[in-house]
Amino acid sequence: MEAVIATGGKQYRVAPGQVISVERLAGDAGSAVEFTSVLLVKRDDDEVIAAPERLQSARVAGEVVGQGRGRKVEIVKFKRRKNYRRHRGHRQAATKVRITRIEV
């Protein structure tokens, strides 16, 4: 069974047992998390459920594996002949989540 969930302004295709990295969620390692914004579910018999009225009760449960930060994104601004240079970096806070089950 697979599902498409939305969290942190992004969409993720998930399956039970998969570990994904999402925008920071509250909770320590081992705590449970539930995603209620399910956009699509594909069952093992290849049935695809995408109707909003059937997905209102859909839930994707997971377990927080750990908290961390993503890769560094470097921002460089430069204007030639103007002696203007700016260099800055950013690391977004992230949470690793192991998907445990998908319910429809």
Which domain does 19 fall in, by range? 2-103
- pLDDT tens-digit readout, 76-95: 999 999 999 999 999 999 99
- Order across the sheet with 32-35: list the strands: 19-23, 84-103, 59-79, 32-35
Average model confidence (pLDDT) for the chain?
95
Does position 104 have pLDDT exceeding 90, yes or no? no
Q: Quote the pTM value.
A: 0.84
DSSP secondary structure of the chain: -EEEEEETTEEEEE-TT-EEEEE--S--TT-EEEE--EEEEE-TTS-EE--HHHHTT-EEEEEEEEEEEEEEEEEEEEETTTTEEEEEEEEEEEEEEEEEEEE-
- pLDDT tens-digit readout, 31-80: 999 999 999 999 999 899 999 999 999 999 999 999 999 999 999 999 99
Total domains, the chain: 1
